[in-house]
Amino acid sequence: MNEQLKQEVASRKTFAIISHPDAGKTTITEQLLLFGGAIRQAGTVKGKKTGKFAKSDWMEIEKQRGISVTSSVMQFDYADKRVNILDTPGHEDFSEDTYRTLMAVDSAVMVIDSAKGIEPQTKKLFKVCRMRGIPIFTFINKLDRDGKEPLDLLAELEEVLEIDSYPMNWPIGMGKGLLGLYDNFHQRIEVHRPDEHGGERYVPLNDAGEIEGPHVLKESTLYDQALEDILLLTEAGNEFSEERIANGELTPVFFGSALTNFGVQTFLDTYLQFAPSPSAHKDEDGEKISPYTEEFSGFIFKIQANMDPAHRDRIAFVRICSGIFERGIDVTLSRTKKKMRLSNSTQFMAESRESVEHAVAGDIIGLYDTGNFQIGDTIFQGKMNVDYEKLPQFTPEMFMRVNAKNVMKQKSFHKGVNQLVQEGAIQLYKTFHTEDYILGAVGQLQFEVFQHRMLNEYNAEVVMTPMGNKIARWIKPEDLDESMSSSRNLLVRDRHDQPLFLFENQFAMRWFSDKYPDVELSALL
Ligand code: G4P
């Protein structure tokens, strides 16, 4: 085996941060980037106050609405590791984008607001990580504010998410009374505001797990309370198990405050020690491809057009699954068997994009795309002939008819629709025969982003007519008889030319199934 490749892959840590909006994902990302030296100033990732804009908030609409619509990628080196953070949109209307991003990571960090506990979006995203069996690390944030009792938060993790937890550190007080973190793992106390509490940032613990000799922290009842909690956890809590962490069955829990940068570095150091490096990825048949396979391969989990308004470019994000990428290598696009040379590629640092010369399994690279790629495509070098497993697709629930407002602008209208559909921003269906365009989405905001981007990026004003909620069900082409279409369902084709019905409601769908009992109807995820 290529030793250098092995070492390089082992140094890769590729993860996503998941959370409910406002839990502090952006703030913690920013702190991590500061530690990695990828940015020099707080407020670079999202600076509402400084007037700067998040690098991850590429689109105007994100700035206007204060939400993160698309995922971005940030890379930095820290403690001999190459860290790739994949940002994910917090808003639930963009969960499809997030789900695809989670296919490209090896672990996830779940940020929880200590006052709010497990919120709905956290729960949903957690489920996807669970489905994939990836390790999940938990950061309970905002310790500088009064929140729920730490023991209650652990109980919530176990009850609501049904995952065992292991606290890596434990708060001594919180809010205004926050004294520090009892760091089980490093056998020390990390002092909050060291100047006020004895001067040192870290106070070592003796073999009995206590501070040796007199110390100002010991004068507080909060210290005793923390020791009591820890005793309880040692006796009744879960045991630390690297194997169970790796299987996604046990989540290590860290406490801290992203805003005041308390506990974040300890989290990063410990996380990088236990977070998995890239492992084998499954292909379509469930076979695993080792990341150490020397030939390059990867899949496209995201396409983003017009990231840089000045250049109007389109970038396909590739998660490398095996081997080495060198600029200019020749690859085959699995779907079309088309051969191509990858000479125009980029990687993402927080403040800039740089041309990438060399990358290995675990890394994310961006390829300038001239329309060759689609979401979910696999590319491979040589004779690998691999096709990675399909990305999850969701059954849209809301539908709109869409037309160009100005008939003279048909060309840019079609171009825009097709590009945004290829990006996976929205689904497109066409009616049989008349070929009317119908858009499908999981969340309302997707339509708004579509409309906004059509105007801003393609100069095409669109007219959208709501069709309301429908139930989309696919039918095998061989089962289809066009006379099955009635006033309660609409027969359309998806972008792969597969037929499906949009049913008015459950009743209409049941009526159909009763009438055609042998016809199988299927939904996506
Ligand atoms: P998100 O990406 O998960 O949506 O959350 P984000 O980091 O934007 O944080 C949401 C709000 O919570 C921000 O306040 C942020 O300053 C605050 N916050 C994040 N971490 C902490 C923490 O550890 N302690 C406290 N007290 N607050 C925290 P905001 O007022 O909405 O925004 P801003 O105007 O401060 O940027």
Going from the Cα of 28 to the center of ligand 1, the distance in angstroms, rounded, reads 9
Is residue 292 within a helix (H) or strand (E), and if so which, with residue range?
none
Please say whether the beta carbons of 182 and 143 come within 8 A: no
CA distance 142 to 137: 16
Per-residue b or e along 54-71, where b marks 16 or more CB atoms closer than 10 Å to that residue's CB: bbbbbbebbeebebbbbb
Taking only Cα atoms into account, the Rg of the chain, rounded to an integer number of angstroms, comes to 25
Which residue has 């997707």 as its token pair? 446
User: Which residue among 52, 259, 262 is best mutated to probe the pocket of ligand 1, counting the most ligand atoms within 8 A of its Cβ?
Assistant: 259
Q: Whose CA is nearest to atom 25 of ligand 1?
A: 142
Instruction: Give the mean pLDDT of the chain.
Output: 88
Per-residue pLDDT reduced to its tens digit, 300-340: 998 877 666 666 677 889 999 999 999 899 999 999 999 99
Binding residues for GTP: 19-26, 87-91, 141-144
Q: For residue 186, what are the β-bridge partners?
A: none
Q: Residues 480-493: pLDDT tens digits? A: 999 999 889 999 99
pLDDT of amino acid 52 = 39
Residue with more model confidence, 196 or 155: 155
Phi and psi at 88, nearest 5°, equal -130, 145
Q: Write down the pLDDT at residue 251.
A: 97
Q: Which residue do the tokens 């790739």 mark? A: 84
pLDDT digits (tens, 9 = 90+) for 395-425: 888 999 999 998 888 999 999 999 888 888 7
Q: 48 CB under 6 A from ligand 1?
A: yes
Annotated binding site: 19-26, 87-91, 141-144
- pLDDT tens for 200-209 read 899 999 999 9
- Taking the C-alpha atoms of residue 196 and residue 219, their distance in angstroms, rounded to an integer, is 13
Q: How far is the CA of 259 from the centre of ligand 1 (A)?
A: 7
CB 220 within 8 A of CB 174: no
Q: Give the pLDDT confidence score for residue 69 in this predicted structure.
A: 43
Tell me what pLDDT residue 99 has.
83
Taking CA atoms, 427 is separated from 401, 423, 450, in Å, by: 12, 10, 11
C-beta of 145 in contact with ligand 1 (< 6 A): yes
DSSP strand pairing (364-368 vs 314-322): antiparallel
pLDDT of residue 436: 94
Q: Residue 141 C-alpha to ligand 1 middle, in angstroms?
A: 10
The answer, yes or no, to whether any atom of ligand 1 lies below 6 A from the CB of 24, is: yes
Q: Is 259 in the pocket of ligand 1 (CB under 6 A)?
A: yes
Nearest ligand 1 atom to the CA of 27 is 7
Q: Does residue 65 carry a pLDDT above 50?
A: no
Q: Which atom of ligand 1 is nearest to the CA of 262?
A: 23
CB atoms within 10 A of CB 353: 14
CA of 308 to the centre of ligand 1 (A): 27
> What confidence tier does 288 reach under pLDDT thresholds 50, 70, 90?
very high
Residue of the CA atom closest to atom 11 of ligand 1: 22
Residues recorded for the chain? 525
Token pair in block for residue 291: 């990341």
DSSP lists the bridge partners of residue 358 as 326
Q: What is the Cα–Cα distance from 108 to 251, expressed in whole angstroms?
A: 10
Instruction: Give 58's strand partners.
Output: none
Query: Structural domains in the chain?
Result: 15-67+108-274 (3.40.50.300), 281-381 (3.40.50.300), 398-522 (3.30.70.3280)
Atom 4 in ligand 1: residue holding the nearest Cα:
22
Q: Could you report the predicted ipTM of this complex, rounded to two decimals? A: 0.97
Distance from C-alpha of 388 to C-alpha of 5, rounded to nearest angstrom: 21
Q: Which range has the top average pLDDT, 190-199, 254-263, 278-287, 483-492?
A: 254-263
- From CA 131, how far away is CA 111, in angstroms rounded? 19
- Cβ of 144 less than 6 Å from ligand 1: yes
Q: Burial, 433: exposed, middle or buried (Cβ in 10 Å; 0-12, 13-18, 19+)? A: exposed
Q: Report the separation in Å between the CA atom of 22 and the middle of ligand 1, taken as the mean of its atom positions.
A: 6
CB atoms within 10 A of CB 193: 12
> Does ligand 1 come within 6 angstroms of the Cβ of 150?
no
Task: Ligand 1, residue 141: give the atom nearest the CA.
Answer: 23
pLDDT above 90: percentage of residues in the chain: 63
Spatial contact of 138 and 118, defined as CB atoms under 8 Å apart: no
CB 142 near ligand 1, within 6 Å: yes
Q: What is the DSSP letter of 392?
A: P
Distance 114 CA to ligand 1 centre (A): 12
Determine the Cα–Cα distance for residues 207 and 194; give it in Å rounded to an integer: 23
In whole angstroms, how far apart are CA 12 and each of 84, 213, 279, 502? 8, 42, 10, 44
